[in-house]
Amino acid sequence: MTFNQAMVANSICSPSRATLLTGKYSHKNGVTKLSQSFNGAQQTFPKLLQKSGYQTAIIGKWHLESVPTGFDYFSVMKGQGRYNDCPFRERGVDGKVHNVPTKGYVTDVLTDKSLAWLKQRSFDDPFCLMIHHKAAHGPHDPAPRHKNLFKNDTLPEPSSLLDDYKGRAPAVIAKRVAWSRLMLCDQPYKQYRKVGKQRIGNRDEDTRMMYQAFMKGYLRLVASLDENVGRVLDYLEESGLSKNTIVIYCSDNGFFNGEHGFYNKMWMYEPSLRIPLLIRGPNIKAKSETNEFACMMDVAPTLLDYARCNIPDDMQGKTLRPLPEYKQLQMKLSNQLRALIDHYADTVSIKQ
């Protein structure tokens, strides 16, 4: 099921990840800004799953400064990590956290780690695995196999790409948002400096030119992400785990990909607050959708609900589990009613 109205409470990495773990707003879980240390002593849904007999693991991006708690196994990147030959932080047999070097492209590497954990876990107990990718976060360093992807394509532009904010942004605000203008993205994104040198001084044309370069770089990261999500789903199918495993796909925040002429995520327009949210499971109809509102806080209680664990009263999110199950029941009843109508149509006059 696709949740078309899914949002985050805070469109910045660290606060959103703390919300995911706790099911609480930022002012309740203590992480209100970027790169702030998460208090690992507090209640999280992985800890509650552990108490119910679940094996828990997190692999990939952590970005909460503190050492992960509530996990039987963790292998996480320090800070944002990097795309190539990224070291991971793991707890060694001595009980201390060590940097473990790796070779290869990080999207592939952390998927390799995730699949290895799935294959080596205890098969007698249920599990919860959190796979946290770096992609599609900047910088745009694609896998070598994707470096020329979309090279000869012209990508469609968002309708608000050339927004001038007229009547909506006071001068003092306009100055502050200038650093997030897409036409200036070559300043933090070094790989676009050659493109930046081609600017002609025309705001609209320079924005269009940089949009094409930026989006192709972004989508090259997404291509490797898609491939590796597919690897995990393929393993769930091949191993038979898909018959009783819930998969939730989401992001820690949205992003401006040219909307309002922006890149980044720091401004309170909807693109930065909206996230992809999909739930896949054995009792969920494929390709179903809902327009019911959903929030990052809802993920923790949803997973606890599927695991048949009690949802603590102090969690501020609400379980989403009834939505796909209700949709499935609705479809079933609709089909039964249609069959009844067909059966009695010859002898009974039925009014809508």
Q: How far apart are CA 110 and CA 89, in angstroms?
A: 12
Partners of 262 in the β-ladder:
181
Q: How far apart are CA 295 and CA 284, in angstroms?
A: 19
* Cβ-contact 22, 312 below 8 angstroms: no
Strand runs labelled E in the chain: 2-7, 55-61, 73-77, 88-91, 97-100, 127-132, 247-250, 277-280, 289-295
Structure tokens at 50: 């552990």
Q: How much is the pLDDT for 62?
A: 95
Q: How far apart are CA 294 and CA 2, in angstroms?
A: 11
* Tens of pLDDT, residues 307-319: 999 999 999 999 9
* Tens of pLDDT, residues 4-30: 999 998 888 999 999 999 999 999 999
Higher-scoring residue by pLDDT: 173, 71: 71
Q: How far apart are CA 142 and CA 225, in angstroms?
A: 10
> What is the residue extent of each domain of the chain?
142-221+250-274
Q: How far apart are CA 63 and CA 299, in angstroms?
A: 18
Higher-scoring residue by pLDDT: 135, 187: 135
* Tens of pLDDT, residues 254-275: 999 999 899 988 887 889 999 9
**3-state per-residue secondary structure call for 146-175:** HCCCCCCCCCCCCCCCCCCCCCCCCHHHHH
* Cβ-contact 85, 104 below 8 angstroms: yes
Higher-scoring residue by pLDDT: 322, 327: 322
Q: How much is the pLDDT for 352?
A: 47
Q: What one-character DSSP code corresponds to residue 84?
A: B
For the sheet with 277-280, list strands across it.
247-250, 277-280, 2-7, 289-295
* Tens of pLDDT, residues 77-126: 998 999 999 999 999 889 899 999 999 999 999 999 999 999 999 999 99
pLDDT band of 168, cuts 50, 70, 90? confident
Q: How far apart are CA 262 and CA 167, in angstroms?
A: 18
3-state secondary structure of 287: coil
Higher-scoring residue by pLDDT: 75, 178: 75
Q: What is the chain's mean pLDDT, rounded?
A: 91
* Cβ-contact 274, 6 below 8 angstroms: yes
Start-to-end CA span in the chain (Å): 29
Q: Are strands 88-91 and 97-100 parallel, antiparallel or unpaired?
A: antiparallel
Asked if the model's pLDDT at residue 210 lies above 70, the reply is yes
What mean pLDDT do residues 324-330 have?
66
Can you say how many angstroms the Cα of residue 68 is from the centroid of all Cα atoms in its chain? 19
